[in-house]
Amino acid sequence: MLADANWQTILDATGPLPRRGKLVQARRRLARCLRDFRGLSRDRAKLRDALRRCRHIYKLARALNDAIDNEWQHKRWRYNPLIDDALKKYLLPQAKSSIEALAMLVRIRKGKRDPARDWLYLTLLDIWVYYFGGKLTASKTASGGPSVRFLRTAATLVLDARKVPSVVTARRISARWPAARASEYSAPPRR
């Protein structure tokens, strides 16, 4: 659950809310969003290290498999179907699958791209529109308006201070949020 102090900070930052807002649901969705982001957020350096380890494990598993096959072919060891299955049906495919998944995660995080952060911003704006009942209008004021203040304040709870979007960037994020998405649903999306 979202701590009372954090919830009050968000409410203070957004200012007066529309009457149609569903604050109990908003708080629940916001808590789930922030919790889920922590699970999605991955450090690129750690991902590259994990990919390197998986590739090394796969290389060692292939060498082990080849060595055992060689021993069985020359009849120095008696064939054991359990070992054969464990290597060929489980260990090697699992290691290969892990390599492919990690390689994809490393690829999609190239440059400044961070899909977890993009998801966070989109979900926060969904919560702002569907649960708080707010509008995605960004003013030219220093604070950027209620939607920008909400986005920045909520992002502060899970992002490093250096990664919280500036007011200008938060305005751009709000503008990119698909306008069709706001009119697409009459009720909050089910998730």
CB 33 within 8 A of CB 127: yes
Position 62 in a domain: yes
Residue 186: pLDDT band (50, 70, 90) is: very low
25, part of any domain:
yes
166 and 129, same domain (yes or no): yes
Neighbours of 110 (CB within 10 A): 8
pLDDT at 138 over 50: yes
Residues 29, 88, single domain; the answer is no
* Average pLDDT of span 72-91: 92
| CA max distance for the chain | 80
For residue 29, being part of any structural domain is answered with yes
In a domain, 191, yes or no: no
37 and 24 inside one domain: yes
Number of domain units in the chain: 2
Tell me, yes or no, whether 190 lies in a domain: no
> Both 91 and 173 in a single domain?
no
Are residues 81 and 104 located together in one domain of the fold? yes
Given this model, what pLDDT does residue 72 score?
Answer: 92
Cβ–Cβ under 8 Å, residues 34 and 154: yes
In a domain, 189, yes or no: no
Lowest pLDDT segment from 38-47, 73-82, 124-133, 139-148: 38-47
> Do residues 51 and 90 share a domain?
yes
Given 108, 124, 147, the domain boundary residue is 108
Domain span at 153: 4-41+113-184
Domain membership flag for residue 176: yes
How distant, in Å, are the alpha carbons of 39, 59, 104 from that of 66? Answer: 38, 11, 28
* Last residue in a domain, options 78, 108, 138: 108
Residues 178 and 120 in one domain: yes
Radius of gyration of the chain (CA): 24
DSSP tag of 101: H
φ, ψ (nearest 5 deg) of residue 4: -60, -40
Phi and psi, residue 15, nearest 5°: 80, -160
pLDDT tens digit sequence for 48-57: 898 899 999 9
Residue after which a domain boundary falls, among 108, 130, 164 = 108
Domain annotation covers residue 30: yes
Q: At what angle do helices 146-156 and 23-40 cross, to 10 degrees?
A: 50
Indicate if 65 and 99 belong to the same structural domain. Answer: yes
139 and 91 belong to one structural domain: no
- Which residue carries 């796969």 as its tokens? 58
Are 120 and 37 found together in one domain?
Answer: yes
- Record the tokens describing residue 99, joined without a space: 């390599």
| Residues 37 and 127 grouped into a single domain | yes
